Amino acid sequence: MENIKIGIQKSGRLHDQSIDILKRCGISIDNGKDQLKAASPNFPLEIYYLRNGDIPQYLKDGVVDAAIIGENLLIEKAPKITYVMKLGFSKCRVSLAIPKEKAYNGISDFDGQRIATSYPNTVNQFLKKHHINADIHIINGSVEIAPNIGLADGICDIVSTGSTLFKNNLKEVETLLISEAVLATSPNISADNKAILDKLCFRLDAVLKAKNSKYILMNVPNDKIDHVIQLLPGMKSPTVMPLVEKNWSSVHTVINENDFWSVIDQLKQAGAEGILVAPIEKMIL
């Protein structure tokens, strides 16, 4: 059987989590340093370790069948390439920023200004939409330094924690787009490889669903079970099993991590005791 070729960052912010999510799908990968290519011994897949900025072109050309890439880069370099799944990590935004001490009155402040960026297409599109004429300076890396060395009046770059902006005395004033890692596909993928990709997506989906969910177990007096069940936004109906102790049961269910704390408080108030919360590794609905 042919292998599907998946591009991932050779180095950079997506690298570690890209390897990690594939491993959590049960796919073994040899991620030895300085390797450009690695085949999985237990899934029909080959990893290509690529420079981040080259990945969109490799997708366009069909050199790789799919790739794990930031949606921001796809929008900038290959807006016609589609993705099959958001992967929930490397969340960031692409934003305009200006020196902290400068007043900001709105987008029109950028009229006639110099903007340094590695995202010229994204910036141009945004400016055009708002009828602003600015001078775009393309810089690949360390964009945030540009205003400090007099190269630009403002910048447009990725903001994640905001610490790079802070360190460079800049403030974020406009968010152009929000982004996260996605699994993008080449328009040239063969039908056979698409079938393998579907299997990979099935596994990724199970891993992502599990990541956002917790398995909870608790002991509940029998006369409180109905009330407790009402509080549980569970998968389907929760499992209820009698305990050795008379008039008590054990209730098990799955809840979304986001609901976690508010539900736990309500459950305690409703009489649940010995509440255990466990991570879920895979979840197939």
Binding site for ligand PRP (CB under 6 A): 12-13, 141, 144, 157-164
Q: With respect to ligand PRP, which residue has the nearer C-beta, 179 or 253?
A: 179
Closest CB 140 distance from ligand PRP, rounded Å: 8
Tell me, rounded to whole angstroms, the distance of Cα 8 from its chain centroid: 14
Q: With respect to ligand PRP, which residue has the nearer C-beta, 164 or 266?
A: 164
Closest CB 7 distance from ligand PRP, rounded Å: 16
Closest CB 148 distance from ligand PRP, rounded Å: 13
Burial 154-182 (b: 16+ CB within 10 A, else e): bbbbbbeeeebbeebebebbbebbebbbb
Q: With respect to ligand PRP, which residue has the nearer C-beta, 12 or 120?
A: 12
Q: Which of 51, 42, 50 is nearest to 23 (CA)?
A: 42
- C-alpha distances out from residue 199 to 25, 45, 83, 238, 259, Å: 10, 11, 15, 29, 30
Closest CB 129 distance from ligand PRP, rounded Å: 23
Q: With respect to ligand PRP, which residue has the nearer C-beta, 6 or 170?
A: 170
Q: With respect to ligand PRP, which residue has the nearer C-beta, 21 or 92?
A: 92
Please state, in angstroms and rounded to a whole number, the distance separating the CA atoms of residues 158 and 278: 34
- Asked if 183 and 201 count as a contact pair (C-beta separation under 8 A), the reply is yes
Closest CB 125 distance from ligand PRP, rounded Å: 19
Please state, in angstroms and rounded to a whole number, the distance separating the CA atoms of residues 70 and 91: 9
Q: With respect to ligand PRP, which residue has the nearer C-beta, 146 or 264?
A: 146
Closest CB 16 distance from ligand PRP, rounded Å: 12
Q: Which of 136, 179, 181, 132 is nearest to 154 (CA)?
A: 136
Closest CB 73 distance from ligand PRP, rounded Å: 10
Q: With respect to ligand PRP, which residue has the nearer C-beta, 12 or 221?
A: 12
